């Protein structure tokens, strides 16, 4: 089974569990986390997560929706594929 690499920009809410929820759902869905950049300047800002994942090709089209539907996630943007390949 092949994989598809994606680079996601995730805006998190104010709850402290957002980062853990994103990583957990990706792991449960058999995605491999390749790289994570996380920033949460203070307790009043939910944070921003840029994550490169290798998802099974059969389910790669679902990754954005899986993350976007988490309770602590405000927005998800898929960054361009060339940037994802460079992150891996």
Residue 85 has pLDDT above 80, yes or no: no
pLDDT value of residue 86 = 55
Say if residue 74 is exposed, middle or buried (CB neighbours under 10 Å; 0-12, 13-18, 19+): middle
Mean pLDDT, residues 46-54: 92
Q: How confident is the model over 68-85, as a mean pLDDT?
A: 81
Does residue 19 register a pLDDT over 70? yes
Structural domains of the chain, with CATH = 3-87 (3.30.70.60)
DSSP secondary structure of the chain: --EEEEEEEEEE-SSTTHHHHHHHHHHHTT-EEEEEEEE--STTS--EEEEEEEEEGGGGGGHHHHHHTSTTEEEEEEPPHHHHHHH-
């Amino acid at each position: 089974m092949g994989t598809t690499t994606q680079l996601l920009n995730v805006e998190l809410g104010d709850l402290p569990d957002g980062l853990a929820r994103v990583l957990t759902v990706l792991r449960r869905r058999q995605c491999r986390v390749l790289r994570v950049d996380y920033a949460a300047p203070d307790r009043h800002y939910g944070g921003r997560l840029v994550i490169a994942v290798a998802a099974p090709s059969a389910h790669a089209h679902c990754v954005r929706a899986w993350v976007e539907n988490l309770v602590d996630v405000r927005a998800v943007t898929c960054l361009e594929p060339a940037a994802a390949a460079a992150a891996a």
